[in-house]
Amino acid sequence: MSLLVVGSVAFDTVKTPFGEIKEGLGGSATYFATAASFFTDVQLVAVVGEDFPEEHINFLKKRGIDLAGLERSMGQTFRWKGEYGYQLNEAKTLKTDLNVFESFRPKLPPSYTKVPYLFLANIDPLLQFDVMKQVVGPRLTACDTMNFWIEGNRDGLIKTLTGVDILMINEGEVRALSGEFNLVKAAKTILSLGPKTLIVKRGEYGALMFNGNKIFAVPAYPLESVFDPTGAGDSFAGGFMGVIAQNADHESISDKTLRQAAIYGSVMASFCVEAFSLDRMRSLTQDDIRQRYIEFKDLTGYEYFV
């Protein structure tokens, strides 16, 4: 079943201890849509400027992503500049140029308004809300955000969260949004704002999923070489939501499906960090994904003795 994403399509300039890239293809919606496209049909809502090359459009088209909702506006594409130290878990944002996103007001093509699965990737909560309002009765809405918006448009974000089923944010963002340091207390506070499920992304330590009163821990795949963590969160979300949309044959989404989806999320994030920009996704195959999913079973399974 179809999955719609609204978020940023960007040029990223990124420096890590292992190299750097200038104006590579990036953006929250780009990473999300690419990861999700390995599992289900994806529709993308975003804006790019006159400077966005056909080469990137062709890459997204080749992944089968529906670009009817990708507008091209006068002006420059969104740009983000960030840096990571050896502690790769959180980026230091050096510069954010919203450019064409400043005046973007998404108007969904009629074919998009009945989409069953919706992901509000990291972008101004105002735009997330705009899109949410235009989709009629989605089965599931999930959302991401970042400190830039928690600090810059908190009220808008709280308003968006009232209509969201699943929130996926990193540890620092959980603390900033809830005002609590302890993650269990923070999860309770956030789950009182609207979402029924909270996924806390913890970089190389994996993720924690708080679903009602259940907690599920997902490890990150232990890799020998990590080049660039940019987009790992969005790739996690793409794998997660892609699997949910692919298994959409039941009325309600079971805890088992949520757990499988979280493992696939971690699988997709592990591929993302193996190269700069979306480069690892370009050569990725269904076999690679399946193989790593099986390896997760070995990584997490154990005998239970009493």
Stretch that binds ligand AMP, among 23-31, 157-165, 218-226, 278-286 (CB under 6 A): 23-31
Q: Does 207 bind ligand AMP (CB under 6 A)?
A: no
Biggest alpha carbon distance in the chain? Answer: 66
Q: Which stretch binds ligand AMP (CB under 6 A): 106-114, 208-216, 230-238, 290-298?
A: 230-238
Q: Does 173 bind ligand AMP (CB under 6 A)?
A: no
Nearest residue to 219 via CA among 209, 229, 230, 205: 205
The one segment of 5-13, 41-49, 50-58, 134-142 that binds ligand AMP by CB under 6 A: 5-13
Question: Rule CB under 6 A: is residue 28 a binding residue for ligand AMP?
Answer: yes
Which own/partner contact pairs does 15-18 have at CB distance under 8 Å and 24+ positions apart? 15/82, 15/83, 15/84, 16/83, 16/84, 16/88, 16/227, 16/228, 16/229, 17/84, 17/85, 17/86, 18/225, 18/226, 18/227, 18/228
Q: Which of 96, 153, 189, 260 touches ligand AMP by CB under 6 A?
A: 96
CB atoms within 10 A of CB 50: 11
User: For residues 7 and 195, which CB has a smaller minimum distance to ligand AMP in the complex?
Assistant: 7
Which of 120, 232, 258, 289 touches ligand AMP by CB under 6 A?
232
Q: Which residue in this structure is represented by tokens 């997660």?
A: 240
Nearer Cβ to ligand AMP (218/248): 218
Pick one of 40, 43, 122, 178: the residue that binds ligand AMP (CB under 6 A): 122
Residues that bind ligand AMP (CB under 6 A): 8, 10, 12, 26-28, 31, 80, 96, 122-123, 146, 148, 230-234
